[in-house]
Amino acid sequence: MIELFDSHAHLNDEKFAKDLDEVVLRAEENQILYILNVGFDVKTSRKAVELAQKYPNQYAAVGIHPHYASRYNLEVERILETLAANKKVVAIGETGLDYYRNLSPKEVQRETFKKQIALAKRLNKPLVIHDRDAHQETMEILKQEKASDVGVVLHCFSGSAQMALECVKQGWYISLAGPVTYSNATKLVQVAEVVPIEKLLIETDCPYLTPQAERGKKNEPSYVKYVAEKIAQIRKKSVEEIAYHTTENAKRFFRI
């Protein structure tokens, strides 16, 4: 039996307000045994915790996305710390750097990133990292701030195979999402080939980045199966084997 773990979802996004129950049911029907909903601001962090309380197989990460880094202050940090006291909050994030959109100034992004690493270390929770067009600086900050002390996963990984191997050397995990299924995903196919199976997670990042087979539709946790199928094809393994390892990896990383 295939048992899958969507290690990065946003069922806390308003796009799921009208059909959440149906989406959750489809996930169960497709053997998605675990879902981690990841906060990107205070509101969605709270919603992630609410969903974790409502659904036995859902967990939460709380954090401030680099887009909203300018909103980070001591009050926000205290709210995150309070939310993180809930037993079903298994990580801090998503946090990191986004130099693609630059919706917060780079310096503010960097400071907010460092503060959330410090929070994760204080709370002994692993980190869910967002890194877009900021590979070198993201890695430098993670190293400088000793994020490996609590654990790191680079979600929706978009770097090179060489970068992925450098991350693995640091003990970090790599999570692949829908883009690995796209026809132009040469770089991500190489990543899927070289990352040791014990360091690999899969995710949807729903409602975004819908896998190729369902392009044009809103992404949802049940579609994580397409990511597993593509990685199985790339690595010439069975889907069952990829599902088993990625699920066990996620459970180990998030201490579930």
Report field, pTM of the whole predicted structure over 0.75:
yes
SS3 219: coil
How many structural domains does the chain have?
1
Tokens at 88, concatenated: 């079903």
Domain that holds residue 155: 4-253
Judge whether 118 and 141 are in contact, CB under 8 Å: no
* Cβ neighbours for 211, distance < 8 A, ≥ 6 positions apart: 178, 181, 204, 219, 223, 226, 227, 230
Q: What is the pLDDT along the chain (256 residues), one digit of tens a residue?
A: 799 999 999 999 999 999 999 999 999 999 999 999 999 999 999 999 999 999 999 999 999 999 999 999 999 999 999 999 999 999 999 999 999 998 999 999 999 999 999 999 999 999 999 999 999 999 999 999 999 999 999 999 999 999 999 999 999 999 999 999 999 999 999 999 999 999 999 999 999 999 999 999 999 999 999 999 999 999 999 999 999 999 999 999 999 9
Tokens at 31, concatenated: 């053997």
Question: DSSP letter at 221?
Answer: G
Token look-up 């310096």 returns: 107
Q: For residue 1, what pLDDT is reported?
A: 79
Q: For residue 250, what pLDDT is reported?
A: 98
If you count DSSP H runs as helices and E runs as strands, how many of each does the chain have, helices first?
9, 8
Closest of 134, 105, 125 to residue 38, by C-alpha: 125
| Kind and range of the H or E run holding 5 | strand 4-9
Tokens at 256, concatenated: 């579930």
Provide the phi-psi class of 146: left if phi over 0, else alpha when psi is between -120 and 50, else beta.
left
Dihedral of CA 59/170/154/179: which sign? negative
Judge whether 199 and 172 are in contact, CB under 8 Å: yes
Q: For residue 218, what pLDDT is reported?
A: 98
Closest of 123, 75, 120 to residue 95, by C-alpha: 120
Give me the CATH number covering residue 33. Answer: 3.20.20.140
Closest of 47, 113, 36 to residue 77, by C-alpha: 113
